[in-house]
Amino acid sequence: MPDSALTAVVDDEIWTLDRPVWFSGVRMRARTTVVRLDDGSLLLHTPAPPTDGLTEQLRALGPVRWLVVPNCWHHLGAPAAAAHFPDAKVVGPASALNRNKALKLHMDIHDAQFGEQVPEFEALPLQGVPFWDETVLYHRPTQTLLGADIVLCAGAKDHWTLRYAARITGFYERVRVPPDARKKIPDKAAAARSIRAMLERPAQRLIVGHADVIEEGWRDDLAQAWRLEGVKV
């Protein structure tokens, strides 16, 4: 499969692209999600560095208008994508700027302006976990929650290094909070309120950065993962 292959999740509205990324000695799947907005333009969530193949596919779908950095970790491809799509606005948390000097934001993801300018999305900040500073987006037209690191899950299709790490740390074929964040939830009550807000959305699926798309049972999976970390949802 070419590295630029988009997979349709919701026909004509949502696609995903997975690419390999090495992180802490394991090869993970890192996902870019493409959403076609009501005006026909595109929003890229966790933009990948653009390749010729990806650019061509995106051009066929619509103009790229938004590049979303959903937390302070998922910024790696954003500067290259911003250079490639100069008409797109980059939205993300200010905390990501400290981690990537090449990153420039047009808008803070915590700013209410984002919801005003892209009204089909509701921003749901995950409070209590400054380690990520993540904001999950709820896409109303397709009833889809778009997150990055709030949970992950490895499976048979993953690289052996990740399968090995996942078996040791408990996320092989199980939806879990990523191990590197488990001891970094200083305000569990705030995290619980945030996760509850996500659970209350009438979503049909949860898309995150490092797992297959979670459809049936996403609420149970998300709630159980956080309960295991002492977050009472």
Between 65 and 95, CB nearer to Fe ion: 95
Between 50 and 70, CB nearer to Fe ion: 70
Site residues, Fe ion (CB under 5 A): 149, 209
Between 37 and 225, CB nearer to Fe ion: 225
Residue 194: Cβ within 10 Å count: 24
Name residue, tokens 């990523």: 178
CB closest to Fe ion, residue no: 149
Q: How far is the CB of 226 from Fe ion (least distance, A)?
A: 17
Residue 205: Cβ within 10 Å count: 18
Q: How far is the CB of 210 from Fe ion (least distance, A)?
A: 6
Q: How far is the CB of 19 from Fe ion (least distance, A)?
A: 12
Between 18 and 149, CB nearer to Fe ion: 149
Q: How far is the CB of 74 from Fe ion (least distance, A)?
A: 6
